[in-house]
């Protein structure tokens, strides 16, 4: 794989909280234009990895390199979190919904573009009144917002308060809001949590269309295996802060170490799980 194909390279990442090694020498690569899923049992360290990538935590050790389409590289562990968003162009959503529920759906998407609009105003009242690039930029901000409302199947709800949307629609609005910042790398923390099956399908459609239309690379933490196996190009599995598997959804799904981790079996029983999986596979192939 050439360097151009890789958007994110995590090397020997470790994160210690007091005496607890939450992440231990963890390395993986995410390919440009792909959907990469980070999975693992509760407490495996997935959110900690996300927090290191997005600048909420500074890792104890390791390197996190983001390479943009232009070839520009950023060492994320050295950047303050606002620079990770603004300059490196990494956007994220959170496990719990963080919308402005009293604002309309459209307003939520315009607020996300506030920095860009203020810059176009030159930070002056005259600028805000339309002298200079502000008018053109605000027109573009509305176009971008409308585009992502269409993609998220929310255009008919543009003028409704965000708090009136169903849970699944609010999750899609959060993703649309992140996309309005035009990220190169989008990190989604459990986007399918709490969704019903039909909302999960709409989410899958949105994520696929982001991958196809915008070229944005996506990384997600997800417990819902129907979403992970359905839409991911690449799955990385963590257990107790260490990587135990890395590959295509099919590879990971059949990896005895992953099965053992999810079943919660002890290390000494992994061999037994491997033997069982192999005998089942033998049966299927017979």
User: How big is the site for ligand ATP, counted in residues (CB under 6 A)?
Assistant: 11
Please pick, from the candidates 24, 47, 170, 214, the single residue that binds ligand ATP as defined by CB under 6 A. Answer: 47
Q: Calculate the alpha carbon distances from 206 to 97, 169, 202, 212, 262 in Å.
A: 17, 11, 6, 10, 28
Q: What are phi and psi of 277, to 5 degrees?
A: -60, -45
Please pick, from the candidates 13, 32, 37, 40, the single residue that binds ligand ATP as defined by CB under 6 A. Answer: 40
SS3 of 30, please? strand
Shortest Cβ 45–ligand ATP spacing (Å): 4
Instruction: Return d(Cα 153, Cα 183) in angstroms, integer.
Output: 20
Instruction: Return d(Cα 107, Cα 36) in angstroms, integer.
Output: 30
Shortest Cβ 189–ligand ATP spacing (Å): 8
Rule CB under 6 A: is residue 56 a binding residue for ligand ATP?
A: no
Window of 27-35, 45-53, 81-89, 276-284 that interacts with ligand ATP by CB under 6 A: 45-53
Rule CB under 6 A: is residue 163 a binding residue for ligand ATP?
A: no
Question: DSSP labels for 121-146?
Answer: HTTSHHHHTTSSSHHHHHHHHHHHHH
Please pick, from the candidates 1, 2, 19, 42, the single residue that binds ligand ATP as defined by CB under 6 A. Answer: 42
In 32-159, the DSSP E strands lie at 35-39, 61-67, 73-75, 90-92
Q: What are phi and psi of 92, to 5 degrees?
A: -145, 155
Binding mask 9-38 for ligand ATP (x = CB under 6 A): --------x--x-x----------------
Shortest Cβ 37–ligand ATP spacing (Å): 13
Rule CB under 6 A: is residue 44 a binding residue for ligand ATP?
A: yes
Q: With respect to ligand ATP, which residue has the nearer C-beta, 17 or 167? A: 17
What contacts 271, CB < 8 A, 6 or more positions away?
none
Please pick, from the candidates 45, 168, 183, 256, the single residue that binds ligand ATP as defined by CB under 6 A. Answer: 45
* Assigned token pair, 21: 């090694």
Shortest Cβ 46–ligand ATP spacing (Å): 4
What contacts 127, CB < 8 A, 6 or more positions away?
120, 121, 134
Q: With respect to ligand ATP, which residue has the nearer C-beta, 48 or 108? A: 48
Rule CB under 6 A: is residue 46 a binding residue for ligand ATP?
A: yes
Q: State the residues that interact with ligand ATP by CB under 6 A.
A: 17, 20, 22, 40, 42-48
């Amino acid at each position: 794989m050439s360097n151009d194909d890789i958007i994110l390279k995590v090397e020997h990442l470790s994160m210690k909280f007091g005496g607890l090694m939450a992440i231990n020498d963890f390395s993986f690569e995410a390919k440009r234009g792909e959907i990469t899923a980070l999975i693992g049992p509760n407490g495996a360290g997935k959110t900690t990895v996300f927090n290191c990538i997005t600048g909420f935590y500074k890792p104890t050790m390791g390197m996190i390199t983001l390479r943009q389409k232009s070839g520009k590289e950023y060492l994320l562990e050295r950047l303050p979190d606002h620079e990770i968003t603004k300059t490196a162009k990494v956007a994220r959503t959170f496990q719990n919904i963080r919308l402005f529920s009293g604002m309309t759906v459209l307003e939520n998407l315009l607020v996300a573009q506030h920095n860009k609009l203020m810059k176009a105003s030159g930070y002056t009242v005259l600028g805000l009144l339309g002298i200079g690039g502000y008018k053109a930029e605000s027109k573009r901000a509305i176009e971008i917002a409308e585009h992502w409302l269409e993609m998220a199947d929310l255009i008919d709800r543009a003028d409704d308060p965000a708090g009136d949307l169903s849970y699944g629609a609010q999750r899609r609005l959060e993703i649309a809001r992140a996309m309005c910042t035009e990220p190169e790398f989008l990190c989604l923390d459990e986007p399918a949590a709490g969704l019903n099956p039909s909302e999960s399908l709409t989410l899958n459609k949105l994520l696929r269309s982001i991958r196809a239309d915008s070229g944005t690379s996506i990384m997600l933490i997800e417990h819902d295996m129907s979403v992970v196996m359905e839409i991911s190009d690449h799955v990385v599995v963590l257990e107790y802060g260490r990587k135990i598997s890395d590959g295509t959804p099919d590879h990971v799904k059949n990896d005895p170490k992953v099965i053992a981790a999810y079943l919660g079996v002890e290390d000494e029983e992994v061999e037994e799980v491997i033997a069982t999986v192999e005998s089942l596979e033998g049966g299927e192939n017979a």
